[in-house]
Amino acid sequence: MAIPRNVRKLIEAGQFDAVEDDWLEHMEADPEDLDYFAGVARPLAAAGEPDRVRLLLDLVDDHLEKNSLLEQRLDLLKRAGDLRFEPQELHSQILDTLRCLYPDSPSFEGLAEKLGLHRAIEDTPKSWQKVERLRGLLQFEQGEVVWMEGKGAGRVLEVNLELENFKIDFEHHPGLRVGFRAAPKLLHPISPGHILRRKLEEPEVLLEIKQRSPGELLAIVLESYDRPRTGAEIRRALNGIVEESEWSSWWSAARRDPQVLTVGQGPRQAYTWAQSSESAEAEIRQAFGVAEQRAKLDIFRKNAGRSAELQREMAETLLEIAQEGVETQPGLAITIWYTLEKAGVDLSAVDWSPASMIASSATPVSLLTSLPDRALREKTYRLIREARPEWPKVLSELMAKEEDPRLLDALSRQLVEEGGNELQSFVDLVLAHPRKHPAAFVWLAENADAEWLGGNQNPLRWLQQILDSPHHKELSPYRTRIAQLLGSGGPILHLLSSLDEQQAAKAEAAVERAPFEEYLRSPLINALHLRFSSLGPPIETPLYALPDSITTRRATLKKLLEKEIPANRRAIEEARALGDLSENFEYKSARQRHEYLTARAASLEQDLSRVKPFDSSLNDASEVRAGCRLELEGEGEERRTLTILGPWESQPENDIISYESDLAQQIQGKSVGDTVEIAGKSFRVAKIEPVATS
């Protein structure tokens, strides 16, 4: 506890009357400054003036009691009570003050007894520890509303002294019990007026406010917390009041309230509530004045619509910044121009524009790529054709530097319309140096089947560059997109179909050494083998099946390739758009299904490449073979029928077995009259006949 330097000097000099005068003056000025009174009392008592200290502290205590400042009185007892009272009397004063603080508490006496507050009263430090525990538990008196992480808001139903726990009703966890020791750590009292308490106590009132005044409901949320809240936090706080289907329209209306203030930007953007619309504008002006240049733009975008005067003031400042940056910060100047234009600011008197800057720039490519916002780059790209006579060359150079696939699409369309050689020059440049232009290279790979690309001119080179790309760190950020190319059945297969016989072996080698999982490489190898018979593996053992089974498997493969895999690919893209792939369950689930579907399709393609139908007309019924049915006779009246077909038809529970099974291998070659062993029993082959396959 601090003691003023002048008072310390008075005490050290023994001028105790002067200390008392200073004390009394301080009481007149600030009678609740306990730091001063407790800070002076101890050194004054230590200097041999305990009676004077008791008298002075009594004056302070009288003021606190008279004005019902019970919290401050308890604090004074804790800081300096031992200077006024003996331990037993101090304990009594503490209890009296606590009873006045909690006059209506039904649990006070029981908790005080349970915590031992009436025992060992001479041990003052321990008594204060018990007081702290008692007050911590009295926050959760029966009927109080509390909040718990993962459980939300709930009401205390019972204070159980015997079990030493609280029984609390949470919405989805009724009757949850929390022990006395854990309660102060896990439970948080919710004050009256807090949105979470009002949701519990008066939901109908909140529903009426929602309909009548969206801004008022938002104010209740924002004023319930001691820090700004993000949109997601506000949405969670209003769960059950603002339905999912209502959120967009309600949120749009609520944010327009003139007392709503936006702080931060991007994912950190949050909202707070000003005391009035005037104070809100005052805070915005202050924040705008001290913000750095690009932050000023963000403040303008969010608040320009509040009032014409505020917009005019901010616009004038931004135009000054833009004017100064036309030569030194052209990207910032263009950004300011378009921001003001979008807000409806009159720019007719300004003697420059984005079009004039592009037309006069010595380095238009550097100027345009300095714009961080995709939408602004797209706007300026449209100006190039009119502003620069050499626009095809400029667009080609921009494509080599652009990273956004949608803008690359737009730029390429302009060059296709132009019909010159610039687009092909760009393709050749990127293909020659993919590591220098990683974004453009991946985009080109994704468009390998586009007619304008000219990929057919050298498909092997394209394929080798794509398959080799994971080896280069410059392309590592795009590994997922490249892997999708291999599994999509689109651009890569187009390149494979454009190869000639001489290039096929090199393509196969490139696929084999590509650093991708087997389920990605296998379909490409199969596609090459199907197209180029010279690459096929050694003759495989045929797979025999009924014609109906073959037809079913072909239909399954067709459905996989034409419906399920493309649909899953769209699901992956939709899940990717949700962001944060590390925590994106939908994306991970879609990727896992992609792996399953492509692996299944590859297996089916391989099996169908070697399948042959059973031909009953060629089946010799003189002995047991694949494609036959045999009747077996056991001991007594026991009879059994076995049908030997392919692995696709195998149904052991229905006595249809695969010719690859151990049992089929054991009995093949047997003739009528021969004995066979099945599951430890002996059977005689009574009849053999071919299975009808048509």
Return the residue matching tokens 């997601």: 232
With H, G, I as helix, E, B as strand and everything else as coil, classify residue 261.
strand
- The secondary structure of residue 655, as a DSSP letter, is T
CB 358 within 8 Å of CB 394: no
Inter-helix orientation angle 459-468/422-432, to 10°: 40
- Total of domains in the chain: 7
421's CB contacts (< 8 A; 6+ apart) are none
- Element holding 641 (H helix, E strand): strand 639-645
User: Are 441 and 529 in the same domain?
Assistant: yes
pLDDT of residue 455: 47
- Of 448, 450, 473, 470, residue with least CA distance to 460: 448
**264: Cβ contacts below 8 Å, ≥ 6 apart:** 228, 270
Sign, CA dihedral 593-491-540-518, equals negative
Residues 161 and 202 in one domain: no
Q: Minimal CA–CA distance to 628: which of 669, 595, 674? A: 669
- The set of residues, in sequence order, having a beta carbon less than 8 Å from that of 685 and lying 6+ positions away, is 624, 630, 631, 632, 667, 670, 671, 672, 673, 674, 675, 676
Q: Which helix (H) or strand (E) holds 657?
A: strand 656-658
Q: Spell out, as residue ranges, where the chain has pLDDT lower than 50.
A: 455-456, 581
The three-point CA angle 100-105-107 to 5° equals: 125
In a domain, 100, yes or no: no
437 and 533 in a single domain? The answer is yes
For residue 162, count CB atoms less than 10 angstroms from its CB and return exposed for 0-12, middle for 13-18, buried for 19 or more. exposed
Token pair for 561: 């390739």
Q: What pLDDT score does 420 carry?
A: 79
Residues 246 and 227 in one domain: yes
Which is nearest to 359 in space by CA: 392, 325, 383, 375? 383
CATH number of the domain at 265, please.
Answer: 1.10.10
* Cα 548 to Cα 543: distance, rounded to the nearest angstrom: 14
For residue 671, the enclosing domain spans: 616-690
Is 465 found in the same domain as 382?
A: no
Picking from 488, 517, 537, the residue at the C-terminal end of a domain is 537
CB within 8 A of 13, min separation 6: which ones?
Answer: none
What local confidence, expressed as pLDDT, does residue 144 receive?
Answer: 92
The reported pLDDT for the residue numbered 370 is: 84
Q: Do 443 and 528 belong together in one domain?
A: yes
Q: Comparing C-alpha atoms, which of 629, 632, 646 is closest to residue 679?
A: 632
Distance CA 184, CA 187 (A): 6
Does residue 213 belong to any structural domain of this protein?
Answer: yes
Q: Given 522, 537, 552, which residue is the final one in a domain?
A: 537
Last residue of a domain, one of 84, 102, 136: 84
Residue 327 in domain: no
Q: Do 231 and 252 reside in the same domain of the chain?
A: yes
HEC readout, 543-596 = EEECHHHHHHHHHHHHHHHHHHHHHHHHHHHHHHCCCCHHHCHHHHHHHHHHHH
**Model-wide pTM > 0.75:** no
Based on the domain organization, do 444 and 512 belong to the same domain?
Answer: yes
So what's the pLDDT on residue 539? 53
CA distance 347 to 561: 55
CA 638 vs CA 11, 205, 424, 612, 653: distances in Å: 117, 80, 79, 35, 17
Does residue 129 form part of some domain?
A: no
Tell me the C-alpha to C-alpha distance, in Å, between residue 141 and each of 134, 137, 176. Answer: 11, 7, 15
Considering the domain boundaries, does residue 448 fall inside one?
Answer: yes
Provide the pLDDT for residue 230.
92
Q: Is residue 325 part of a domain?
A: no
Does one domain contain both 577 and 481?
Answer: no
Asked if residue 284 belongs to a domain, the reply is no
Identify whether residues 403 and 465 lie together within a single domain: no
The tokens for 194 are 């807090």
Amino acid at 39: G
Helix (H) or strand (E) holding 412: helix 405-418
**Judgement on whether residues 528 and 556 belong to the same structural domain of the protein:** no
Residues 523, 463 within the same domain: yes
Is 283 domain-assigned?
no
